[in-house]
Structure 1
Amino acid sequence: MPLDSLELARRLARFLSAKKAEDLVILDVRGRASYTDFILIASARSARHVQGLAEFLEAEAAREGLHPLGVEGLPQGHWVVLDYEDAVVHIFYEPVRRVYDLEGLWADAPRIELPEEEDGGG
C-alpha cells in the first residue's frame, strides 16, 4: 500500500533524524504549493555532513521502494534538494540555510510536530 504524503514526510524525517540532522522542520504546504504537499528542511554541520545526510536518506528510502524524482546540489554539499514528489527535502549547510530562510518564505505554512526522538536534536 502506498504511503500517504504525511507518512512519507514523517518517514523521511525519521531517516534524517537517525543520521543526526539538525533543526529538522516539516512544513505542510498542501494548498499553498502546487509542486508538493510537505517541505522538509534540515541543517548539517559541514558540507560533508550535508552530503552524508543526503546519501543516507536516498539509500534508506530506496530500501523501502522510495526513489526521488531528482537530486540537486550533492557534489557541492551546501544545499541538497531531494524531490520525493509529495515531500521535498532541503538539506542545508547551516550558514546557507540562514541565507535562504525557507521557513520565512513559508511562514504561513503549519509545522508538523515531530515526536521527541525525531526532532533532529535542534
Structure 2
Amino acid sequence: HTLDEKLAENIVTIDIRNVNAYTDYYVICTAKNPRHANSLVEFVEKEVTKNGFDVRLREGERESTWVLIDMNEVVVHIFTEDARSTYRLEALWADQPQETM
C-alpha cells in the first residue's frame, strides 16, 4: 500500500542526504482535511511497523494540519493544503533533488 492509494495528494520526495545529518529523505504529501491527515498518519505508522521499522517520533496531534512522522532515515510530513502552502517545505529545500510521485 502507498500514500497514493490512500488518496494523499501532491506527494514529493526530497533527497537531503547531502545537507542533513539526521535523516536522508523527506516525503511530503497533502491530505484533504485534518481527518484524512489522521488516517494517513495511522496508515504510515501501521505500514512502518508491519515492515519491521520503528517510528522514532511523531509530532502533531490528532486532527492537526501538519503531522511529522520520523523513522530515522525517512521523515514523512503530512499537511492539509493550507498548512502546506504556509510552510512551503519544498521551497525551503528547493536546491536538493526532488521527485514528484
* Normalised-by-shorter TM-score class: over 0.9
> How far apart, in 1, do the equivalents of 2:9 and 2:63 lie?
19
Higher helix share: 1
> How far apart, in 2, do the equivalents of 1:87 and 1:60 lie?
13
Correspondence for 1:107: 94
**2:37 touches 2:63 (CA, 8 Å); kept in 1?**
no
Question: Taking structure 1 as the reference length, what is the TM-score of the superposition?
Answer: 0.78
Question: Taking structure 2 as the reference length, what is the TM-score of the superposition?
Answer: 0.93
Correspondence for 1:73: 60
Gaps of 5+ in 1: 1-13, 114-118
Quote the RMSD (CA, aligned, Å).
Answer: 1.3
For the residue of structure 1 that corresponds to 2:4, the secondary structure is helix
**1:54 touches 1:74 (CA, 8 Å); kept in 2?**
no
> How far apart, in 1, do the equivalents of 2:49 and 2:80 lie?
24
How many residue pairs align between the two structures? 101
1:36 aligns to 2:39 (yes or no):
no
Q: Describe how 1:18-97 pairs up with structure 2 within 5 A.
A: 18-97=5-84
Higher strand share: 2
Identity fraction in percent: 40
CA drift of 1:61 comes to 1.6
Matched to 2:15, the amino acid is: D
Q: Residue deviations 1:42-80, cap 9 Å, x none?
A: 001100000000101111221111221011113242101
Gaps of 5+ in 2: none
> How far apart, in 1, do the equivalents of 2:57 and 2:2 lie?
18
> How far apart, in 1, do the equivalents of 2:56 and 2:5 lie?
23
Matched to 1:50, the amino acid is: A
